[in-house]
Chains A and B, each alone.
Chain A
């Protein structure tokens, strides 16, 4: 369990406040009162229940924060993840309390205190100051966790003896029962446990009977394992609305770092990131960032969030946000001694995510040959190179093939003909060239070879009927040009280079 959980959750979201005098408040205006205070504030005499003016009177420099449901939810999830690292059966009791089934962990942790220490250390890595109690019943474990010198281990069968000296309030009884027991002169759990069960039941009813059973070390409540959530969520509600990107990115980076730690603990990567922004005065902006491969790289994820927000601003001030990472297993790479080294799948995934964000959709991938005749045709598929061969293959040498630079889109030309043959050409201004010719080409033709006719897609709306020529200009330059048959316009669609 995490003591002062709302405060711990808030400090997890804002680690810079950890060493400051901070109080967590509930309520508005004069009704605002302190829920929890940091050590520095407590040293100044501030206690839970103080009104805000009372607290400020003691410490004028006091920092105040409101309770943040989003931070508390994320911290609770993080605590559940911590418990999930040692046991698959974990119960979410809320408010910073998590139960886990430690059955069968003896071989991993021969000493139960080691298990407790491991859990506390794991929670500390998640910026949560946790305490741990180990017992055969949920209540005994919870009470043990509240004691100093954590972790506290209650021996099996010794729950009643462990609880006996403790005050009755440790059992969280109802106020009515507390009052009755006080009238009877009972102060400790042990005194209450000594009463005959039948008499307690007849005087205090079913609730009193249940409390009596607990006081005797018999907690009938079973562990209710939670179902793992489909994603990992981090976020926070903001004290003031944000209208610019840099402060939001600073907060988002912290949330992504926390997400990264949680993903790493589960040995998974983020395959999809959902960004949800709460807008002022009301409304919500939700967007999804698809990643080409699972990654945990904070810089990459932050860049994608930034580019997404720059590309499509939310349109209103942001008062809260949540980032949900949908996990997937990261790709594995196989090293080889004699073949070429494979690119690290993790690094490749990160690079591809950056490139997709930088260049936009349809601008990065593996090229694919496409059936057809139009020279400008191409297809892009996701880049997923096959594993390298076990041994390096020797490349073919001495081929020296002449390749064509494809001009996409084709550059419009003005062509003078001698008969059917191009005699001179000049590139025309086009939108792609910004009102100027997209290709610096002009001059008389030295050699022209053609026409090589191309017909494709006559059944389509935009068929291609072209007559191709290979032309060499007197001033140098070898171009592939064509005459669009229906319109008679000339274009250059390739440069032999």
Chain B
């Protein structure tokens, strides 16, 4: 029997959930596919957490609910709110350990959340600590409930269960070089981060030409609010530095 909710979802719900990152959306043909497990792997500071939060913000902005399974307890509500996430539509789960995290992810996938993000954090995850079948089970749940499951891991863990596997590498921090020229290095400002996204596996049927692309550049800029605060601080420091220089010369003059 088809329910009204099913009709609504099937007809009007888009097949992709945009991530809010243009390059990545183009690479994926529109965003994270519903009903599939998408894995993104990369080392620390490769931009994968930013991509996940961007997808979280984009999904909740449309009015859908999203869940974040965060065993590492890394989520920053203030940062997510500033990035545009509607926090009232976000279910944040802070399990203690992987086993709990998998159980929690299974539960939320079966509940009807449009997007479920499972972040395995930064630490090394031993594959002996869980059965590979867990990924197949999660992928099946995502497919059955038409949810997008986005798994973040330091390296590939989902095996054959993932429909799309992305890898983020060659990450480089961007520093405000103008500052570096005129200021001590300690007063340079962090501008953002760039990384190269590579599609390592894609079982999604090619919808258009963009799907043939295998790599894309991921450019992430620091939140304007943080940047503005640091700019203010930089101006203060500049003022203090000038005052100190002035005071120093005055003292020398007085001593002389």
- A residues sitting closer than 8 Å to B (CB atoms) are 335-341, 343-344, 347-348, 350-351, 354-355, 358-360, 362-370, 375, 377-380, 383-386, 388-389, 392-408, 420-421, 438-441, 447-452, 469-470, 472, 476-479, 494-497
Contacts and interface: CB of A to CB of B under 8 A. Distances in A.
Contacts of B83: 399, 401, 403
Nearest to A452: B233
A447 B77 contact: no
A364 B186 contact: no
Nearest to B74: A405
A439 B92 contact: no
B180 to A, nearest CB: 8
A209 to B, nearest CB: 64
Contacts of A476: 43-45, 171
B185 interface: yes
Given A403-B79, A449-B190, A497-B49, A392 B111 contact: no
Interface string B91-127: 1111110001001100110111110000001111000
Interface centre among A347, A358, A438, A448 (most CB of B within 10 A): A358
B134 to A, nearest CB: 15
Given A369-B77, A392-B12, A364 B62 contact: no
A114 B221 CA distance: 73
Given A358-B104, A406-B76, A401 B18 contact: no
Contacts, number: 248
Interface string B1-29: 00011001100111000101110010000
B5 A395 contact: no
Contacts of B188: 447, 449
B89 to A, nearest CB: 5
Interface in B70-93: 72-81, 83-84, 87-93
Contacts of A449: 175, 185-190
B139 interface: no
Contacts of A439: 122-123
Given A341-B9, A388-B64, A497 B95 contact: no
Contacts of A347: 111-112
B122 A440 contact: yes
A476 B122 CA distance: 14
B223 interface: yes
Contact of B74 (A343, A366, A406): A406
Nearest to B113: A343
B124 A440 contact: yes
13 contacts: A336-B8, A340-B64, A348-B111, A386-B88, A400-B20, A400-B54, A401-B53, A401-B221, A404-B79, A421-B186, A447-B175, A449-B190, A497-B46
Interface residues of B, number: 86
A299 B232 CA distance: 56
B61 interface: yes
B196 interface: no
Given A341-B112, A366-B91, A400 B46 contact: no
B44 A495 contact: yes
B223 A402 contact: yes
Interface in B198-229: 218-223, 229
Contact of A393 (B45, B63, B72, B124): B63
Contacts of B92: 364-367, 380
Contacts of B50: 400-403, 497
B105 to A, nearest CB: 10
Contacts of B223: 401-403
Given A351-B110, A402-B47, A397 B87 contact: no
B61 A405 contact: no
